[in-house]
Structure formats: structure tokens, C-alpha cells
Structure 1
Amino acid sequence: MKRKLLSIAAALCFIAGAKAQTSYGLKAGANFAKFQVSGGNTSYTSDAATFFYVTGYADVPVAMNFSVQPGISLQGKGGKAPAGDFTEVSTKDNLMYIEVPVNFVYYVPTGEAGKVFFGAGPYAAIGIHAKSTQGNLSESGSFSDAGLKAFDAGLNFLAGFKLTNGFLINGGYGLGLTNMLKDIDGVTSKNRVFSVGVGYQF
């Protein structure tokens, strides 16, 4: 019985310690987003369109220099194509998602200046707004109206530098694994997003 009580007490102390060490952060920056379209034996990658992202997250230490970072994010994705690729006028698709990432992050101390960090993890997202622009004409609506699936999922990769005062500089890449197109057999379109930004971890 004493051993069980000691084990429970040790577990509670560990949980309390982990909770005390948990910190929270906010990141924002620019997304350079593309579509990768594949069909048959051909593949096409759109030009990059610039959007924004804002992410709030928790940094939960699970081992020395290693943390899990669950979060919630507003992500602008999409892509653009110049006139002549598919239509007579230039096109741009602006897709807004609410995304839930879970990243696994490893920190490399670099002395008094701060830490370099690397990470990766899965994400799931729901599209909340779609806007398509062709030439001077724009149309906004739901993902379904645009012929797209609202659900997206994939992998995130990130790296950056965190200063000792909590300020951080980061870059990342989002690799979409879900086909966005509805009712088009033999053709897939997936999100590809490179991002840069700054943030602060409290």
C-alpha cells in the first residue's frame, strides 16, 4: 500500500511539475501557398500566393529539450496561376482554414543567446471560407460552393530560433496529404505551404 501511495504521489508530483513548466506562445507571419495538382502521369504546381497565419500554442515539456506543442491556428492557403495556364485570365484562390497542429519539438541550446529548435507533426484543418478571383472578377463562398472538400490534413515541419527573452523567429512547411477536389475522378489537388514569421513564448 505504501508503495502504491508513493507511486501515486510521484506521478502527481511529475504532472504538477510538467504543468508548472508548460508555457504558451503566439506566432504570426506570412504563408507562401501553392497547389500541387496531379492527374494521370502529369503534375502541375501553381505559383505561390501570399497569405497570413496566426497560431496560438502550448509548449508542454515531456523530456529534456523536447516538447509537445498542440495549438490552434488561422491559416490562409491557396495558390495562383498566370493567364494562359488554365484560363485566358490570371486566377487566384484564397482558402481560409482553422487548423489544429500537434508538433513535436526538439530544442538545441546555443548558450546565453537562446535555443535553436526543430519540429514536425500532424495537422487537421477545416476550411471556413473560399474566395476565387479570375481577372477582375471575384466570388466568395463556402468550400462546397467552390467544389472543394472542407477537410484537410497533413504534416507540418518547422525550425527556428528562440531567444532567452521568449522572442522567436521561425519558418515552416505544410505538406497537405488530403485531396481537396470534389467529384473529379483521377485528379488530385493538395496544399503546399511555406511560411515565415515571428512570435513570443510566455
Structure 2
Amino acid sequence: MIRKLIVGLLLLLAMPAAAQHLQMKIGGGFASHHSDAKLVGAFKAGLGYEIELGQHLTVTPWLTAYAKGWKDKDQVVKYYDEHGNPILNADGTQRTGIKSRTTSANYLEVPVLFNYYLRLGASRYVVLSAGPYAALGINGQQKTRGDAEQEGSRKVFYKTSTFKGAGVHRFDAGLTVGLGYQFPTHITVGVETDFGLLSFDKSGARNVSGLITLGYQF
């Protein structure tokens, strides 16, 4: 799927247009899942090629490296010995702990954004952007602490690969929406949100992220 999208973007770039501009963009903010998961840091960096469709309308295909992730809700876990018997505290109650898991998920993302430029003054614009994206999970780690179901040192801490778990979907797709302000210096400052439409795994959780972005048009 990603390969077909890249071929399509190359064909789009070959089309004649009134004006074309190379762009680059970086952004930082937060990411999570559409669930009770908590926020973690997120970052993106990408290159785009803006093609003019009309006086105020352009389309920009992007190739972006996007670091997303989430932190699962903490769980109370009970401790048992190697024979399956409850481990008790001094007061006779069963020993419990907190299991926490934080996940990083790094994607190669291909958004195609349609941009509307609202002129405010000489070379000053408000830019409204929206369009679909497709993404492929490249790598990432799940870091788990306090998992009472594990053995040995894994009860304290262990790492696993984000995209190698059972039922995990490496491919993602969704909608990107952005709002920016372009200065006469060709610098654009804005905010941007990704809404994932495909489930990450069998739980039905979907990616969501929000960034403050800084872009430059060559």
C-alpha cells in the first residue's frame, strides 16, 4: 500500500502546475490512543512538495518520519510465588503492585494535504490544511514495569518490540488537520492533529496526536 502511494505521489509531482515549492516541516507535541491511555511525547520531521491548484488552493504530498506512542492506564496486580500461592504482607493481606506500560511507535507517514490560503496582508496568510494519510510502522518499544505475571527480573522491567505482538497492525491510516500562519519570510507556524481511523490491535485503540509545527517553504 505504501509503495503504491509513493508511486502515485511521484506521478503527481510530474504533472505541470502553475507553481511548485519544496517544503520542510518539523513538529513536537503529544500522542496517545483513542482510549483511556495517557499522553506521551511526539515528534515529526518531513519533506513536502506543494503544487498550486488555484489562486488560493494547493495540494502537498509529504514524506514524514513520525514518532508516536502512548502510555497504558496503570493496573493493580497481585503477586504469587512459583507454586501459584498468594504472597502475603505482614498483616496477612495479599501483596499487590502497579503494572505500567509505555509504548513508542515510529511510523513512516505519507499525508496528502489540501491547503487553502486566506490572505491577511502582503505575503501573510492563514493556511487551512486537511487530507488523508497512510503510515507504516517501522519500529518502536514497549517498556513494562511491575508485571507480576512474568518470572525473574522481568517482574521488575522488560522490553518488547511494538509491532511484533500478536494481533498488532503495522499499517495505519487516518486524517490530518492543520491550521497555520505564514510569514513573509516563508516560515509557517501552526498546529496539526492526526486522527487515526484504523485500529492498532484487537482492542480497537487508534492513534491520535497533536503537534505545534514549524515549516519553511523554499
The verdict on a shared fold, with TM-score over 0.5 as the criterion, is yes
- Give aligned pairs, total: 175
SS in structure 2 of the partner of residue 88 of structure 1 = strand
Which among 101, 104, 111 is matched to residue 101 of structure 1?
Answer: 111
TM (normalized to structure 2)?
Answer: 0.74
Residue in 1 that maps onto 2:208: 192
- Greater shift after overlay, 149-158 or 104-113? 104-113
Which deviations, in whole Å up to 9, do the C-alpha atoms of 1:130-187 show, x marking residues without a partner?
2111237352536124642110000000111111111110111101000111xx3xx3
Give the letter for the 2:103 counterpart.
Answer: D
What do the CA deviations read for 1:22-63 (whole angstroms, capped 9, x no partner)? 001111121310112xxxxxxx33111002110110111101
In the alignment, what sits opposite 2:33? 35
Tell me if the contact between 1:34 and 1:45 (Cα under 8 Å) persists in the aligned partners. no
Structure 2 residue ranges without an equivalent (≥5): 1-14, 78-96, 146-155
Name the aligned partner's letter for residue 131 of structure 1.
Q
1:153-164 alignment runs, 5 A limit:
153-164=173-184
d(CA) in 2 for partners of 1:69, 1:191: 22
Bigger CA radius of gyration = 2
Q: Give the distance between the partners of 1:124 and 1:89, measured in 2 at CA.
A: 33
Q: Label 1:95 to 1:140 Cα distance change in 2 as closer, same or farther (>3 A).
A: same
Seen in structure 2, the aligned counterparts of structure 1 residues 140 and 201 have a Cα distance that, compared at 3 Å, is: farther
SS in 2 for 1:63: coil
Query: CA RMSD of the aligned region, Å?
Result: 2.1
**Cα pair 1:131 1:138 within 8 Å, conserved:** no
CA-to-aligned-CA distance 1:116-142 (integer Å, 9 cap, x gap) = 100110000000002111237352536
* Alignment deviations for residues 54-105 of structure 1 (CA, whole Å, 9 cap, x no partner): 0110111101111001010001111113533798233211000000000000
- Aligned partners of 2:135, 2:37: CA distance in 1, in Å? 21
Partner residue of 1:178?
Answer: 198
> Which one has a larger percent strand, Structure 1 or Structure 2?
1
- Determine if contact 1:129/1:140 at 8 Å carries over to the other structure: no
Q: For 1:46-125, list aligned pairs within 5 A.
A: 46-84=37-75, 88-112=98-122, 114-125=124-135
Percent of aligned pairs sharing the same letter: 26
Is the contact made by 1:173 and 1:194 (CA closer than 8 Å) also made in structure 2? yes
Check the 8 A contact 1:113/1:163 in 2, yes or no.
yes
SS at match of 1:45: coil
CA contact (8 A) 1:31 1:77 kept: no
**d(CA) in 2 for partners of 1:35, 1:16:** 40
Match of 1:141 in 2: 161
